[in-house]
Amino acid sequence: MLIKEVAKMAGMSKDGIRHYEEMGLIASSPRQAGSRVYRDYDPAVLETIEHVRQAQRLGFSLTEIAPLLKAYASARPSRSETIEFLEARLVVICEKQAALRDIEDFICEKLQRYRSAEAVESAIA
């Protein structure tokens, strides 16, 4: 498959496909057509792209996904390993949410202080 076909079927841009390839998430092989060389993608990359999207929905970055794909390709995890993996990921996500709540609280406190100071300045003037 040519990049245009892969991009269309995956709902991505050609640049997105190239980016995935640069990151080692998918691979292609050169194909000679006259004087031009095109990249040829195996239809299996569509499944790989879907795996990447699923991992992104779990909160993984593309950098984190590459080693996961390699591990998945070498040995598919069992059901219990998948459950363990997802439970561990849930803990990470909960920790990130807690950290974001802390940031939100900090911002709210700052806003409250600035608004209070503004109200005092307005009352004095």
Same domain (yes/no): 46, 105: no
Same domain, 85 and 65: no
Q: Is 63 helix (H, G, I), strand (E, B) or coil?
A: helix
Under a CB-based contact definition with an 8 Å cutoff, are residues 89 and 54 in contact?
no
Could you give the CA distance from residue 10 to residue 21 in angstroms, rounded to a whole number? 14
Answer yes or no: is pLDDT of 30 > 80.
yes
pLDDT 10s digits, 44-86: 999 999 999 999 998 899 999 998 888 888 888 889 998 998 8
What pLDDT score does 73 carry?
81
Q: Maximum CA pair distance of the chain? A: 81
pLDDT of res. 125? 67
Q: What whole-number distance in Å separates Cα of residue 75 and Cα of residue 107? A: 45
Say yes or no to pLDDT of 24 above 70.
yes
Q: How many domains does the chain have?
A: 2
Please indicate, yes or no, whether residues 38 and 48 belong to a single structural domain of this protein.
yes
User: CA 122 to CA 125: how far, in whole Å?
Assistant: 5
Average pLDDT estimate for 21-38? 92
Domain identity same for 56 and 5: yes
- For residue 117, the model assigns a pLDDT of 85
Q: Indicate if 65 and 4 belong to the same structural domain.
A: yes
Assessment of whether the complete model's pTM goes beyond 0.85: no
The pLDDT value recorded for residue 62 is 93
Same domain? For 64 and 7 the reply is yes
Q: Is 6 a residue whose pLDDT tops 80?
A: yes
Residue range(s) defining the domain that contains residue 38: 1-76
Please state, for a pLDDT cut of 90, what percent of the chain lies above it. Answer: 70
